[in-house]
Structures are given as C-alpha cells and as structure tokens.
Amino acid sequence: MENKKTEYDNATKVCRHNIRAIHDTMDVIGGKWKISIISCLCFETMRYSELLKEIEGISGKMLSRELKDLEINGLVMRTVSNTNPISVVYELTEYGETLKDLTLTIANWGNAHREKIISEYN
Amino acid sequence: MENKKTEYDNATKVCRHNIRAIHDTMDVIGGKWKISIISCLCFETMRYSELLKEIEGISGKMLSRELKDLEINGLVMRTVSNTNPISVVYELTEYGETLKDLTLTIANWGNAHREKIISEYN
DNA sequence: CCGCATCCCTTTTGATACTG
DNA sequence: CAGTATCAAAAGGGATGCGG
C-alpha cells in the first residue's frame, strides 16, 4: 500500500518535471514557424530571401519576427554583408545545432504519420 | 560547378521534405497543451480532474478541447465509467505511445536549456 | 535586399456560469 | 465529476507601404 503510493508520487513528480521542461522548450521553439526555420538552417546558411522562398506560406513579417526571437535566444546568428544591395545570411549557432536531433525526431514522426494516414485511406 | 548545383538542389529537396513533415507533426501535437497532456499520459492513465490538477495553468475548456483533438487523431482513448458520479479516464493508445520518444526528446532539451540559462545567470 | 510600422481581421484562450 | 455555452480579451497573422 505504502509502496503503491510512493510509486504514484514518483510518477507524479517526473510528470510535473517533464511538463515544465516541455514548456521551457516550447517557449523557445514553439512559434508557428520556428522549427521549420531551424530545420532549413540545419543544412546550410541561408539568406532572408531564400528562407522566404523555402518556407511555404510564411510572410515577411513573420519570418523576421521569428528569426529575431531565435537570435535573441542564441540559436541563430545573423550576419550582414555590406554589399549593395545588402544581403543578410542566417545560420545556426553551435547552441542552435543542439536542436538538430529534435527537429529530426519531429520530422520522422511526421513522415511516419503521413504514411499511416495514406495507408488508412486506401 | 554542376556538382555544386546538384548538391544544393538535394539539400533543398530534403529541406522541403522535412518542413512538410514537421508541419504534419505540428498539425497533430501543435496545440498549446497537447504535448503536456501526452507527456502526462506517458506514465499512467489519468482522469479528467487529475489532468486538470497536474497541468498547471490549463483551463477546463482547453483541456477538454485538446483531449478531443487527440482522441480524434487516435492518440488518446477516452473511457467512461458509469459510476455515480461518473468518472472518465484517458490513456494513450498504442499509436499515441509512438510519441513517447518525441516528448522525451523535447523534455530533455528543455532541461538542458534550463540548466544553460541558470549557469549563464551565475 | 532586408525588414520595420501600421492597419485590420481571424483565431485562440481565459473566466464565468451552467447542465447531466 | 466531467464537461458545455457564452462572452470578452489577447495573441496571431496578412497586406501594404515606407526607409535604410
């Protein structure tokens, strides 16, 4: 009886701990487009205009806003070239690269999910 | 030169593919509270009122709405006991359990992130 | 080329009260 | 206990035009 209760309390504790951790993660990458942006930058540095083309449906306003958030959180680095006209490239910082696994896990589940839906449809 | 271009095109293709996959995942678990709910149910089945207590800040309305979404997508199963008063328990379906890795990855990153922030603060 | 400011509409979320 | 209904507030997001 006592053991059962302890077990339950432990599960509760781990659960709460995880919820807080998930919340922390989502504060950083929870925007509508953030993970997509990070996923793009996993492969190469990209210019603002390239990201705009690559990420279907995003508006310029949202792209700059999300990039700024990511920059503030130290995940993305912004570099301006003083050419004329100027060009701005974005790349993952070392810290941003720690998100590669996470984006891959999310992408993999999405692919599996899509396959499941398609196979159910047939 | 031609190789360089091919390489670039391949990266672009993979990138777009991942963005779509990420979008698919987020359609399913992208709500404000969904991952927290799933994370709770990773440990044990829970009643509506228990989830309400466990997930700090969620309102009853949001909890039922998010649970309904998860149920529709086949991730969560809802079971009603005809006691008096009634009780309703929620649990992950087998398919929902495929999200365990993902929630853990997200929680782990959040924990590492919190530690980073704290250590920077000192 | 990059991206901010403004206006304006849509969606999401919260508070509260109420039902079976 | 487990929700639903209603209203109000807040956040999200698009379009456009301007400035560096």
For B40, name the nearest residue in chain A, comparing CA atoms only: A15
Task: Assign domain A32-121 to its CATH architecture.
Answer: Orthogonal Bundle (1.10)
* pLDDT recorded at residue A14: 82
* pLDDT recorded at residue B96: 97
pLDDT band at residue B2 under the 50/70/90 scheme: low
| Average pLDDT rounded to a whole number, residues B84-99 | 95
* pLDDT recorded at residue B10: 77
CB contact under 8 A, B22 and A11: no
CB contact under 8 A, B107 and A25: yes
Residue from the list A11, A98, A99 with its beta carbon closest to the beta carbon of B43: A11
Residue from the list A21, A42, A111 with its beta carbon closest to the beta carbon of B110: A21
What phi and psi, each to the nearest 5 degrees, are found at residue A78?
Answer: -110, 130
Q: Which of residues 95-114 of B have CB within 7 Å of strand D?
A: none
Chain A: give the shortest CA distance to residue B98, in Å: 8
Q: Where are the domains of chain A?
A: 1-30, 32-121
The alpha-carbon radius of gyration of chain A (Å, integer) is 19
Query: Tokens at residue A59, please?
Result: 């508006």
Alpha carbons B95 and A89: distance in angstroms, whole number: 40
Query: E strands of B1-122, at which residues?
Result: 46-47, 76-81, 87-92
| Closest CA-bearing residue to C1' of C3 | A64
Indicate if the pLDDT at residue B86 is higher than 80: yes
Distance A105 CA to C2 C1' (A): 32
Q: CB–CB of B91/B79 below 8 Å?
A: yes
pLDDT band at residue B41 under the 50/70/90 scheme: very high
pLDDT band at residue B1 under the 50/70/90 scheme: low
Full-model pTM: 0.91
Q: Is the CB of A111 under 7 A from strand D?
A: no
Q: How far is CA B112 from the centre of its chain?
A: 19
| Average pLDDT rounded to a whole number, residues A102-119 | 96
Q: CB–CB of B80/B86 below 8 Å?
A: yes
Alpha carbons A53 and A28: distance in angstroms, whole number: 23
Question: Nearest-CA neighbor of A69 among A99, A115, A38?
Answer: A38
Distance B60 CA to C18 C1' (A): 14
pLDDT band at residue B67 under the 50/70/90 scheme: very high
> With pLDDT > 90 as the criterion, what percentage of chain A qualifies?
79
Query: Tokens at residue B122, please?
Result: 């000192």
